[in-house]
Amino acid sequence: RKEVEQDPGPFNVPEGATVAFNCTYSNSASQSFFWYRQDCRKEPKLLMSVYSSGNEDGRFTAQLNRASQYISLLIRDSKLSDSATYLCVANTGGFKTIFGAGTRLFVKA
């Protein structure tokens, strides 16, 4: 079983749609969690950290459920520019940072 698992997609949604990505992690010792965004042939960029209390940044909302070892990312009012691969990341302390395989999102006009 992979340490961080994501639905690979692709998710094809129209502009303005709400889309949710899910991620599970297997190591209960994982301490911190993040969502990264990666455009085609570009480097990953930190989108947001994920906290148990939930956090929001504009159209993006991230949630963490430690009991279920589950992380989510919600994107509201999708834009064409949101098309990218979204990587779920868990860190177990120190430098052990595990990336999920990523979920591809295509937003269409």
Partner 1 sequence: DTEVTQTPKHLVMGMTNKKSLKCEQHMGHRAMYWYKQKAKKPPELMFVYSYEKLSINESVPSRFSPECPNSSLLNLHLHALQPEDSALYLCASSPLGLAGGTGELFFGEGSRLTVL
- Toward partner 1, which CB reaches closer, 11 or 36? 36
Closest approach of partner 1 to the CB of residue 43, in Å? 4
For residue 79, the minimal CB distance to partner 1 (Å) is 22
The distance of closest approach from Cβ of residue 13 to partner 1 in the complex, given in angstroms and rounded to an integer, is: 20
In 3-state terms, what secondary structure has residue 4? strand
| Contacts with partner 1, residue ranges (CB under 8 A) | 31-34, 36, 41-46, 49, 87, 89-91, 93-95, 97, 99-102
Minimum distance, C-beta of residue 107 to partner 1, in the bound complex (Å): 19
Length of the chain: 109
